[in-house]
Amino acid sequence: MDLLVRLASICGRENVLSDPEDLLVFEYDAGFDRSAPSAVVVPATADEVSAVVRAARDAGVPIVPRGAGTGLAGGTVACGGAIVVSTSRLRNILEIDTVGRSALVEPGVVNADLGAALRPHGLFFAPDPSSQRASTIGGNIGNNAGGPHALRYGSVVDHVLGVEMVLPDGTIAAFGGRAPDLPGYDLVPLIVGSEGTLGIVTKAWLRLLPLPEHVHTFLALFPDVGTGARAASAIIGGGIVPAAMEMLDRTTMRALNAAFDAHLPEEAGSLLLVEVEGLVEECRDQVTRIETLCRAEGAFGIRTATTAEERDALWKARKLGYPALARIKPNNYLNDAVVPRTKLPEVLGRVNGIADRYGYTIANMFHIGDGNLHPVLLFDARTEPIERVLRAAAEILRVAVDAGGMLSGEHGIGVEKEDFMTWVFAPEDLDAMRRARGALDPDGVMNPGKVLPGQKACGDIPTSRIKRGLAEGMWV
């Protein structure tokens, strides 16, 4: 039986896409790598996902799991003639256990929608990526998403108790569960962050936290990026771990003010958006200490959100920074790397120097508390070649690695940075990863061409060829 016919018999003809105009929007995520799938199928249950996987396996066709497509590393780009399996119809919150503080959800649940459902129960799911109004729990699990509050609470891996997953042979298996510390091998941390290379998550048991008694959100204004970075290091070095600590530079603030009338202080070269939460007395003490440290490092102003509406406005501005930059240039390349906090001033100086050398405007808005940089190179793809942007981005990544950092903080590796993995991992390390992946997917049919270097499935993507040459040319 033809694969499309079989898929239609499983999910319904209306849930199988194969016309070129329908496949166009599935060629890419929020990054620059593009490759068209051979088809897209949208199952509605775990049993349908299992049947789809078996059908694709029988036909010898690889599979790419896909959530909302908000990723930035090409993790859902379909290579090697793969079909895309979208989890957008698996969007039910199946259970909220207020006593056990856990939730059972399907992968298509939008992160922000889960938060809204939990709030009346006095609970929240801590990971809050900037894309949380669109990104789904399945995609958050695939990329081990972080967000501003990862500083205090950690990334998704710290909040997933268990998953139900369809394996590459179609088997439905469960790993972990509602109860913590189950006996046996804990495969949940291996699955979280595996970018769909081990299977398709169809349910997840999530750890929930109680809403804090008090939240205090404020801005600390600095004359430049360097002084703000030193203040962030001083805060953490002083033994204070805020719930969140973000940096925005003047370029980003101006774009936000122009696009959304955010009323951010453009007289500042940078600002720290700091949030502390907990008991009222604890928050007051932390705020006093943080303000003292900031002023000692050169802060010339402190502005506090006095109402919930003002707090929401500040976070809305932070999370709309990425689209606001289109006011400056129609295209941008968002980098994602992690560096030790003590190296932030030095690294930021070198990153800005790279942008100046290439003639790009750069915007910095990032999770400074945990050293997760997001320098954004702004350009116009109609007149500026993507090759130059990719080269500048590779140089930025090299600076981060040379400073003792890592390739990604939350966006994943995907097809964007797989060839750069040799910069930070020895051949023995990569071989161990391949063997772990092969234990669940021995035939390499699940999201081929992603994460690990040396795969051929995505080798024909033009941007992949460019990045492979950059990785080899900058390797030392």
Task: For residue range 259-309, list pLDDT tens digits in order.
Answer: 999 999 999 999 999 999 999 999 999 999 999 999 999 999 999 999 999
The answer to whether residues 230 and 143 belong to one domain is no
Say yes or no to pLDDT of 476 above 80.
no
Residue 464 has pLDDT above 90, yes or no: no
Tell me the average pLDDT across 176-198: 91
Instruction: Say yes or no: 97 and 205 in one domain.
Output: yes
pLDDT digits (tens, 9 = 90+) for 22-53: 999 999 998 889 999 999 999 999 999 999 99
52, 9 contact by CB (below 8 A): no
User: Of 382, 402, 422, which residue is a domain's last?
Assistant: 402
Rg, Å, the chain Cα set: 22
CA-nearest of 127, 72, 75, 83 to 105 is 127
* 321, two tokens: 């920074």
The verdict on 41 and 174 lying in the same domain is: no
Rounded CA gap, 105 and 95, in Å?
Answer: 7
What range defines the domain where residue 237 resides?
214-402
Query: In this predicted model, what pLDDT tens digit does every residue of 150-185 receive, in sequence order?
Result: 999 999 999 999 999 999 999 999 999 987 777 888
Q: Which of 42, 59, 86 is the last residue of a domain?
A: 86
Last residue of a domain, one of 210, 237, 265: 210
pLDDT, mean of residues 412-432: 96
How would residue 1 be classed by pLDDT, with cut points 50, 70 and 90? low
Checking if the pLDDT of 475 tops 80, the result is: no
Confidence bin at 92 (pLDDT 50/70/90): very high
pLDDT band at 109 (very low <50, low <70, confident <90, very high): very high
* Range name among 119-123, 173-177, 340-344 with the lowest pLDDT average: 340-344
The answer to whether residue 418 is domain-embedded is no
In contact, 348 and 364? CB cutoff 8 Å: yes
Number of independent structural domains in the chain: 3
Say what the pTM is.
Answer: 0.95
- Token pair, residue 390, equals 């990719």
Element (H, E) at 337: strand 337-338
Give the N- to C-terminal CA distance of the chain in Å, as an integer. Answer: 51
Q: What is the mean pLDDT of residues 223-240?
A: 94
What is the per-residue pLDDT for 474? 80
Answer yes or no: is 474 within a domain. no
The answer as to whether 456 is a domain residue is no
Mean predicted lDDT score pLDDT of the chain: 95
59 and 179 both lie in a single domain? no
Same domain, 238 and 223: yes
Give the strand order in the sheet containing 93-97. 93-97, 102-105, 200-207, 160-166, 172-176
Per-residue pLDDT tens digits for 350-368? 999 999 999 999 999 999 9
Let me know if residue 157 belongs to a domain.
yes
Distance CA 333, CA 446 (A): 27
- Summarize the confidence of residues 448-459 as an average pLDDT: 92
pLDDT of residue 183: 83
Residues 259 and 319 grouped into a single domain = yes
Residues 155 and 191 in one domain: yes
In a domain, 345, yes or no: yes
Residues 105 and 188 in one domain: yes
In a domain, 442, yes or no: no
Q: Average pLDDT of 126-147?
A: 96
| Same domain as 340, residue 326 | yes
- CATH number for the domain harbouring residue 264: 3.40.462.10
